[in-house]
Structure 1
């Protein structure tokens, strides 16, 4: 383990640009891998910060920052005076089958996007069929807002507008289980955004905003087939962007090694 993480105190390039990933993000990535390798489950206790630093081959300070990030993402629970634990209860990420989701693993990310395609294409189909006028207006407002902040390249504003848009479509599907599934998928995707892309979007915000507007128009028109196709294409665009960014990252890391 320590050999694989020998350079985790430094930064590594995330893609073909000059942007770098902080060392604590790389340590967070390796810590999730360690949890999976050890088959740790919700409620299991982890070694101390120093113990984890020794295992991962990094410093205690960097390890502490990695633990803070994973705690904020709901993957770890830090209890003062008790230690560091795999998150359980309300903080847990999901079922045991999903507890070892790796946000930076291509296979895991693609499975997540495949699931998202199935779920969100159905929410769009249902919204185009049964959305109320008030729900349609909410969807359109959220889509327009996402295009506005996306065109301005406002990543933080877009993240909020994007959540509002997809949440509004899910709500208009009138199925609490679909709504819950969309929320769960977004929580998993947020982990990849933080640990793989340093919190940035994997592709063009303006393009995503334009796709939102097109989907909203199809829902407003009651065009079920088009709404479904556009939402499917929207998720597929995200998948292509993720694949490109991950390939770029792996290429750069391989080149450096």
Structure 2
């Protein structure tokens, strides 16, 4: 077989409800539905997407849990009117969890937020806030070493939110929280928990951010946060390309 004849590796299997959840988000964007707008029924969605109503119902459960869709018994499905900073009302249903360009934009936004938050935390963190950051990093580390992905994810969320809290800037706290919410959508719909090749390095990167904040070094804290976000994005980029493009 020549180089030109090499066959790309097969795209990994994805449960049908994940694929349909992503397709529903794309449909919301294509139809330019706004928060509060009524969506097609489950039967209409099933027909449009060539699947069963059962699969659509499971997809809707995911989207409801993520705050993107509201299901009212006897009344139908509606685009969520979540008023979060990056919610549907402000992004117009723009964010698609498995779209590589959207993930790049999310991480670019996170990089701006979290380098600023880490820089401020190095100046403003109280002893109690330092202990909270350290405890979150330890929870994340324990989750990784014990193979408990839920514990790892909780520690990871807590770590980034604790750093933002230590910045003493409530707008940064809100922005970091909303960006993490969108990232969870990517984890659940786009990757189904398969991202994690970077987890071991993330433990060390968290420790570097914590040390810089503890030592009161704003420049080092910002650099450590930037490195962590860049490496995490690379992990997502590889996985999305493997799943969506087959390489």
Structure 1 and Structure 2 fold alike (TM over 0.5): yes
Deviation at 1:90, TM superposition (A): 5.5
Q: Which residue of 2 aligns with 1:13?
A: none
Residue 59 of structure 2: which of 30, 53, 66 is its match?
66
Unaligned runs of 5+ in 1: 1-15
TM superposition shift of 1:142: 1.3
SS of the counterpart of 1:99? Answer: coil
- Cα drift, residue 98 of structure 1: 4.8
For the Cα contact (< 8 Å) 1:155–1:205, is it kept in 2?
A: no
Partner of 2:222: 228
1:45 match: 38
Q: In the alignment, what sits opposite 2:4?
A: none
| Alignment partner of 1:121 is 2:152 | no
Supply the distance in 2 between the matched residues of 1:148 and 1:64 (Cα, whole angstroms): 35
Q: How far is 1:26 from its partner?
A: 0.2
Number of the residue aligned with 2:90: 96
3-state SS of 1:20 partner:
coil
The answer to whether the 8 Å contact 1:167/1:182 transfers is yes
Please report the RMSD computed on the Cα atoms of aligned residues, expressed in angstroms.
2.0
Write out the 4+ residue segments of structure 1 that deviate beyond 4 Å after TM superposition. Answer: 16-19, 89-92
- Does the residue aligned with 1:206 lie in a helix, a strand or coil? helix
Residue 168 of structure 1 is matched in structure 2 by: 162
Unmatched segments (≥5 aa) in structure 2 = 1-8
Q: Residues 140 and 156 of structure 2 are in contact (CA less than 8 Å); yes or no, is this contact kept in structure 1?
A: yes
Alignment CA distance shift 1:98-1:44 (3 Å): closer
Shift of 1:95: 3.4
Deviation at 1:202, TM superposition (A): 4.0
Q: Which moved more, 1:189-198 or 1:56-65?
A: 56-65
1:142 is matched with 136
Deviation, structure 1 residue 39: 0.4
SS of corresponding position for 1:144: helix
- TM-score of the aligned structures, taking structure 2 as reference length: 0.91
User: 137-146 vs 47-56, which deviates more?
Assistant: 137-146
Q: Of 16, 20, 25, which residue of structure 1 is paired with 2:18?
A: 25
Q: Does 1:55 align with 2:48?
A: yes
What TM-score, normalized by structure 1, do the two folds share?
0.87
Pairs aligned (count): 239
